[in-house]
Amino acid sequence: MSQGLNVSILGGGSAYTPGLIHGFINRSQDVPLSRLVLMDIDESKLDTVGYVVRHMLQDAMPQCKLELTTDRDQAIRNMDFIICQIRVGGLQSRHIDESIPIKHGVIGQETTGPGGFAMALRTIPVMVEIAAEIQEKNPRAWLINYTNPSGLVAEAITKTSEIRHISICDEPMVLQESLGAFLNVPPEQLFFDYFGLNHLAWARRVYLQGVDILPQLRDTLEHTPLDKIEGLFGEEVLRDRKVRTELRNTLRIFKETGMLPSPYLQYYWFTDEILEQQIRSGRTRAQEVIQMEQEILAEYRKVAAGERPFETLRGGEWHADMMVGMLGAIANDTREVFIVNTPNHGALPELPFNKIVEVPALVDARGAHPLAMGKMPVEVRGLIQAVAAYEELTVEAVLNGCYDTALTALSCHPLVPSRKVAKNILDDYIAAHGESLAYLK
């Protein structure tokens, strides 16, 4: 790479952004930046986060020109890479997504079940619009998408656009980093035989120097105190009740099945337990995140006012590692292995052709080249196929603006007990979200 890259971040006012910039700083030798554009529709958050990012760049990458904008056009034209981490409707809409299912006796979660369905209904139209703008104004650019629900977004973009894009999720990276730390080996030495859908995937085998280590790991974990395992994640992370519960439930599933699951499998394995916890809590995860974000942004404002020393307060190193690593593999044509969301062209033969799947892929200047993962274990195949059908129908409903197809999609989801419940939830979403779902006829 002879010159620095032009990179923009849609959703640049996110509290996650400084963590992402850390990733660019750490990889500045092989992924140098010449221009960085942060774009957000929330000008107040953009200014606050932009101050922190400017401070970081002045110290570590002074050659990089930083621009803050509320104009999406500025963040699309003349960019080499466009990173997207938007949240359509903000955290208040996430609260609606999560609270309505609980009222009907169904789990309320951001990307899984009805919550992920509502998020897709709001997000896909905007992401399709962004992809169309990229196609028109800068077709040579790469879109690296981190916007949830990542698999559904990727499927909609694939069906409607010819832009160069890859959708990613940091969950596989979290598993790889955590397992590497537990084994005291560099995570890049671990190869995951990984298959499924976004937030519904498994590592069937994990190879270290050609040997599957999962059977030995399973035996080791049976005799390892939980606090030693939790210690890999750090005290700050484990203060978050949700993260600690996810970790414990992930280990429970691994011990039962011998396969290492995405943490989101807990919502299918322990549905009754988690629903009971959500009802008892009386508070959605969105409300917790709103409070966390307010606290972080308040600290950033103190930094901007000179009331406290500079430091970044939000996590996200795994998010940054994967995002910047993926970008670097494309820019430098290095053919590195990443687990990505990509069209199924035979990687998982028991799922439809072109369905977006989450599998390992070689990533180079031409994009992602998925590896063949073969047939899925029968004990999880049915669940994955059912959710795949729900995803296909959801994307179809959004692209056609069809209420009946949306109802059928939600009725197909394994976490929704009946069509009647699905209709009640869908109608409540349409009433609560108003104009953003008015296209469903």
Q: Which are the catalytic amino acids?
A: 264
Tell me whether the omega of the peptide bond preceding residue 309 falls within 30 degrees of 0, making it cis: no
Strand partners, 190: 208
Q: Secondary structure of 235-292 in the HEC alphabet?
A: HHHHCCHHHHHHHHHHHHHHHHHCCEECHHHHHHHCHHHHHHHHHHHCCCHHHHHHHH
Q: And the tokens for 283?
A: 């508070």
- Closest of 113, 118, 124, 129 to residue 93, by C-alpha: 118
Tokens 């943490």, residue?
263
**Neighbouring C-beta atoms of residue 35, cutoff 10 Å:** 17
30: nearest Cα among 319, 367, 333: 333
Helical H segments across 86-213, by residue range: 90-103, 114-137, 150-160, 171-183
Rg from Cα positions in the chain: 21
- Residues 6 or more apart in contact with residue 239 via CB below 8 angstroms: none
Long-range contacts from 102-105, C-beta under 8 angstroms, 24+ separation? 102/275, 102/278, 102/279, 102/284, 103/428, 104/421, 104/424, 104/425, 104/428, 105/275, 105/417, 105/421
- Determine the angle formed by the axes of helices 90-103 and 271-281, rounding to 10 degrees: 110
Burial category of 182 from C-beta neighbours within 10 Å (exposed 0-12, middle 13-18, buried 19 and up): middle
DSSP at 3 = S
CA distance 72 to 314: 25
